[in-house]
């Protein structure tokens, strides 16, 4: 018996002929004859190779934009590569807290290295992972990502990273909160790989957003750079348009699927959120660069993609 929604069930060969006649929801696909517990409007309608065609290809902008952001960030050395890792390790043993616990210093470098250095461009890497996972899920609805673990967990990690960037200037103990965020993300990933939270995930994600968005508004008010403010406005605009498309598709899916032209609201939601995430990343990179004293300014890649150009002090 199928217990998870959106899973596919391959029918036994001996029952196939009877099912062809009796089951109107049977689909002939690349993977064989498939019947879904939940029947979506576009299950293998456009292609026998891709389950939800438009929802799948609409994830491509997410991947492309995330890769653009990643390349730009790396080209400006937002990431301190691991080529100096041996020097950091040596420093850790030589200068641990109170000079007594070198193991603590090494563990501190490992733990905080993943979440306390957003300049390492993890945010863009998470967006690539989200886009690829969502594309794979929509394209084949494979069992291993039945819970959408592949994109939901990086979404939470991304939010934890945003929370670090926005709240870190006010932390009194610089290592405690980053360590907590790292462990929180790791524990969530383990639990989410075993349990399908469904509505619980949505509520959890909304809670993280409620921590993130008001703080982002504070930075918007404090920022004097007009191009940077424009990034924040584009973030809000794409979020609003994306939610509008998602809500319209959610409420009127059964109706608009019979129209001559289906607006594909959920696919548009994916595309708008691709730009939304890109704008959010660039604005937060701007905020982070200001915190680090890197003299950030907004430039444009290929005359279209806004990005943060920095100028590090020679000492860095």
Q: Contact, 46 vs 54, CB < 8 A?
A: yes
Element (DSSP H or E) covering residue 35: strand 32-36
Q: Which of 112, 89, 248, 121 is nearest to 168 (CA)?
A: 112
Element (DSSP H or E) covering residue 94: helix 85-94
Q: Contact, 2 vs 9, CB < 8 A?
A: yes
Q: What angle do CA 174, 179, 184 make, to 5 degrees?
A: 135
CA dist., res. 168 & res. 279, Å (int): 21
CA dist., res. 23 & res. 163, Å (int): 49
204 among annotated binding-site residues? no
246 among annotated binding-site residues? no
Q: Contact, 75 vs 286, CB < 8 A?
A: no
43 among annotated binding-site residues? yes
CA dist., res. 271 & res. 60, Å (int): 8
84 among annotated binding-site residues? no
52 among annotated binding-site residues? yes
CA dist., res. 9 & res. 36, Å (int): 7
DSSP 213-280: HHHHHHHHHH---HHHHHHHHHHHHHHHHHHHHHHHHHHHHHHHTTSSS---HHHHHHHHHHHHHHHH
Q: What angle do CA 98, 101, 104 make, to 5 degrees?
A: 110
Numbered residues of the known binding site for Ca(2+): 40, 43, 52
Numbered residues of the known binding site: 40, 43, 52, 266, 270
Numbered residues of the known binding site for Zn(2+): 266, 270
């Amino acid at each position: 018996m199928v217990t998870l929604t959106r899973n596919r069930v391959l029918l036994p060969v001996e029952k196939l002929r009877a099912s062809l006649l009796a089951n109107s929801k049977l689909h002939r696909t690349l993977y064989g004859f498939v019947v879904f517990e939940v029947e979506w409007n576009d299950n293998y309608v456009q292609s026998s190779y891709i389950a939800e065609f438009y929802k799948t290809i609409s994830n491509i902008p997410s991947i492309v934009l995330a890769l653009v952001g990643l390349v730009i960030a790396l080209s400006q050395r937002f990431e301190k590569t691991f080529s100096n890792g041996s020097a950091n390790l040596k420093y850790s043993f030589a200068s641990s807290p109170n000079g007594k616990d070198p193991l603590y210093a090494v563990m501190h470098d490992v733990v905080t290295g993943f979440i306390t250095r957003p300049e390492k461009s993890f945010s863009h890497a998470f967006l690539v992972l989200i886009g690829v996972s969502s594309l794979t899920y929509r394209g084949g609805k494979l069992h291993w990502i039945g819970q959408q673990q592949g994109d939901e967990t990086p979404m939470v990690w991304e939010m934890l990273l945003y929370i670090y960037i926005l709240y870190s200037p006010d932390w009194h103990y610089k290592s405690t909160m980053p360590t907590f965020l790292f462990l929180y993300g790791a524990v969530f990933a383990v639990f989410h790989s075993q349990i399908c939270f469904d509505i619980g995930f949505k509520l959890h994600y909304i809670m993280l957003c409620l921590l993130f968005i008001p703080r982002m508004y504070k930075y918007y008010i404090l920022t004097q750079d007009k191009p940077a403010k424009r990034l924040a406005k584009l973030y809000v605009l794409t979020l609003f348009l994306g939610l509008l498309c998602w809500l319209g598709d959610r409420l009127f899916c059964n109706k608009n699927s019979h129209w001559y032209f289906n607006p594909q609201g959920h696919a548009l939601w994916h595309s708008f959120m691709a730009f939304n995430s890109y704008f959010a990343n660039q604005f937060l990179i701007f905020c982070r660069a200001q915190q680090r004293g890197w003299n950030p300014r907004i430039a444009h890649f290929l005359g279209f993609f806004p990005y943060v150009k920095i100028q590090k002090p020679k000492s860095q």
